[in-house]
Amino acid sequence: MFFTSGLFWFIEGILACVVIVGLKVWAEDRSVSMPWWKIGLIVLWWAWAGFTAAFIGTSIGEGEPHAALMGGIVFTVPAIVAAVLLWRFLGPGKSGKRPEPRS
């Protein structure tokens, strides 16, 4: 099976490098600083989102569509919330500075 083979993971590794390079370039163009810890947070978020995608797929493949649906909701919602928060605090602001939270 292709997607469970070593070749697949090899390709995923290449894609990961491409993503990181693209991210770096994008951050430089938008004048957003990308210190190691920001990258770390993004990687963590990526691990969670990737886990969610893989969990949904595995549940479907296993023949447990209910688990795919529920797991999809339960894992995707925090991923979206975290993505929004990461964008707010780590991403570019309107004037290039970190936005103030509304009280």
Q: Which residues bind another protein (CB under 8 A)?
A: 1-4, 8, 11-12, 15-16, 18-23, 25-26, 29, 49-50, 53-64, 66-67, 69-71, 73-74, 76-77, 80-81, 84-85, 88, 99, 101-103
C-alpha distances in angstroms, 76 versus 27, 34, 40, 90? 25, 25, 20, 20
Q: How far apart are CA 63 and CA 93, in angstroms?
A: 44
In the bound state with another protein, the residue whose beta carbon lies nearer, of 94 and 96, is: 94
CB 74 to another protein: min, Å: 7
In whole angstroms, the minimum distance from the beta carbon of 2 to another protein comes to 7
Q: How far apart, in whole angstroms, are the C-alpha atoms of residue 68 and residue 60? A: 6
